[in-house]
Copies of this chain bind each other. A is one copy, B any other.
Amino acid sequence: MTVRPVEVICLEDQQHEKCKLLGQILDRIGDKWTIMAVGALSGGPMRFNELMRRIGGVSHRMLTLTLRGLERDGMVRRTAYPTIPPKVEYELTPLGRSLTEPLAILLQWGEKHSGEIETARNVFDQSRN
């Protein structure tokens, strides 16, 4: 049994456990297609194929898996109408909508600092031939 230090500093003087939780959150919602799906649905309910067209570049299979994951986590509600051909609508739940707030803040950060990052990259890449 190894002894682990507990006093690991994390975000804003919190402990290491916080980082792990953050990692879990990002595991859930941090991937490309999940973000795109949440973004697309933030405007209102949408059908499967419409989502696929809106997002663009996503495979049939990955969109299905992404939506299943969001549904499982309670972020998206799936409503199937037993018509022929079938019609399925997806929409954000209140939980899903609540996610858009921290994401919007992260987006603001990105918009504010993307230039800085771009510059830093160029400098870094220059300094390596």
Contacts and interface: CB of A to CB of B under 8 A. Distances in A.
B119 A56 contact: no
A95 B117 contact: yes
5 contacts: A8-B43, A11-B39, A16-B55, A73-B120, A74-B121
A26 to B, nearest CB: 5
Contact of A21 (B42, B54, B111): B111
Question: What's the number of copies of this chain in the assembled complex?
Answer: 2
Contacts of A24: 110
Contacts of A84: none
Contact of A110 (B1, B25, B107, B125): B25
Contacts of A60: none
Contacts of A114: 21
A52 B69 CA distance: 32
A64 B129 CA distance: 20
Given A21-B114, A110-B24, A40 B9 contact: yes
Given A6-B97, A124-B72, A11 B110 contact: no
Given A19-B35, A35-B19, A42 B10 contact: yes
